[in-house]
Amino acid sequence: MREPGTEIEIQDLSVRYDEGDQTVLALDRISLTVRRNEFVCVMGPSGCGKTTLLYVIAGIVRPSSGTVLVEGEPVDRPGPDRAVVFQEDAVFPWMTVEQNIGYSLRMRGRPKDEIRAVVDRHVELVGLQEFRRAWPRQLSGGMKKRVDLARGYAANPKVLLMDEPFGALDIETKERLQEELHSLWLVAPRTIVFITHDLEEALFLGDRVILLSPRPGRIAETYVPDLDQQRDMSIKGSARFVALSTELRGKLKSFNVDVDAGAS
Ligand code: ADP
Ligand code: MG
């Protein structure tokens, strides 16, 4: 039976990649339920199957076995109910900020008034009012990321899937974007599955942090950070945050892989 408020249900999901005579078991019997408007971070070292998991939910990769349901419907292809934000920004260089943000609505043939209203709201949500007519080449990396987030949100999907979206940013910009995404999610709640190999990022953003262990990718641990809802980077100095990150770091070390191996 599906609980009311359940958005994503993953049951016994396994993904095997076959390459010639080599087989990689990328995910091994993953079961996970995500509630509506929950912010779930999936974290783990490089190669543990994070992107594979996200791509299965997105409908880009087919499971070898098991099922994925979004609002009770089996996922078998990409769809407008799921938007993906990748590490590389996917801003169209030939469109202005506002054209980028309104793209999905234009594609769906929505009326001009509606597009304008949605673009106005989302330009404001990510603080790009002064840049709405700017071209992507005029924007910093952080600003392009804001356009990406706004575009994902403006498409009004049920689920936002993010694969290390801040992985290529410098640390100051990354932390600012983490604070902004958290605030954005508080004012505009949405079901988010956020992939990262950065444990502090996961603890800062997640309602729940799912730790994957590598080879094969399995759920090793689940953490509920339970931090103050209104938070900024200063929370990283709190006893709770320090204890959680120490625990998570220890767990990662026990996997015996290079924890800071970087995104992939
Ligand atoms: P992560 O995102 O955690 O770094 P991935 O999901 O990208 O992990 O990869 C998990 C494992 O599956 C890795 O061992 C990777 O080499 C392998 N893999 C990923 N995509 C493919 C593919 N298309 N073909 C073959 N192997 C793949
Ligand atoms: Mg990856």
- In this prediction, residue 238 carries a pLDDT of 97
pLDDT surpasses 50 at 189: yes
Task: Enumerate residues 6+ apart whose C-beta is below 8 A from 173.
Answer: 140, 141, 142, 145, 166
Exposed/middle/buried for 120, CB within 10 Å: 0-12, 13-18, 19+?
A: middle
C-beta of 17 in contact with ligand 1 (< 6 A): yes
The number of the ligand nearest the C-alpha atom of 61 reads 1
Task: Enumerate residues 6+ apart whose C-beta is below 8 A from 197.
Answer: 43, 44, 45, 46, 50, 164, 167, 259, 260, 261, 262, 263
Q: 121 alpha carbon to ligand 2 midpoint, in Å?
A: 31
Which residue's C-alpha comes closest to atom 10 of ligand 1? 49
CA angle 125, 80, 58 (to 5 degrees): 100
C-beta of 49 in contact with ligand 1 (< 6 A): yes
- In this prediction, residue 3 carries a pLDDT of 72
- In this prediction, residue 263 carries a pLDDT of 46
pLDDT surpasses 70 at 258: no
Average pLDDT in the chain: 93
Residues pairing with 217 in the sheet:
27
The edge-to-edge listing of strands for the beta sheet with 208-213 is 82-85, 159-163, 191-196, 39-43, 208-213, 218-223
User: pLDDT by residue (tens digit) across 154-172?
Assistant: 999 999 999 999 999 999 9
Which residue's C-alpha comes closest to atom 14 of ligand 1? 47
Is 126 within 8 Å of 145 (Cβ atoms)?
A: no
Top-confidence residue, 260 or 151: 151
Report the candidate in 256, 173, 178, 261 with the shortest Cα–Cα distance to residue 213.
256
Which residue's C-alpha comes closest to atom 22 of ligand 1? 17
C-beta of 64 in contact with ligand 1 (< 6 A): no
Res. 88 pLDDT band, cuts 50 70 90: confident
User: pLDDT by residue (tens digit) across 26-82?
Assistant: 999 999 999 999 999 999 999 999 999 999 999 999 999 999 999 999 999 999 999
- In this prediction, residue 87 carries a pLDDT of 87
Mean pLDDT of 119-145: 95
Q: 95 alpha carbon to ligand 2 midpoint, in Å?
A: 28
- In this prediction, residue 259 carries a pLDDT of 57
Which residue's C-alpha comes closest to atom 25 of ligand 1? 17
Q: 153 alpha carbon to ligand 1 midpoint, in Å?
A: 27
Locate tokens 């190999």: which residue? 197
Its pTM surpasses 0.85: yes
Q: Which residues surround ligand 2, an ion (CB under 5 A)?
A: 50-51, 264
1-5, 174-178, 217-221: least confident range: 1-5
Mean pLDDT of 257-264: 55
- In this prediction, residue 165 carries a pLDDT of 95
- In this prediction, residue 260 carries a pLDDT of 55
pLDDT surpasses 60 at 11: yes
C-beta of 11 in contact with ligand 1 (< 6 A): no
DSSP string, 171-182: HHHHHHHHHHHH
CA angle 229, 230, 235 (to 5 degrees): 90
Which residue's C-alpha comes closest to atom 13 of ligand 1? 47
Largest Cα span, the chain: 56
CA 109 to each of CA 99, 151, 186: distance values in angstroms, whole numbers, following the listed order: 14, 16, 29
Residue 154, Cβ neighbours under 10 Å: how many? 23
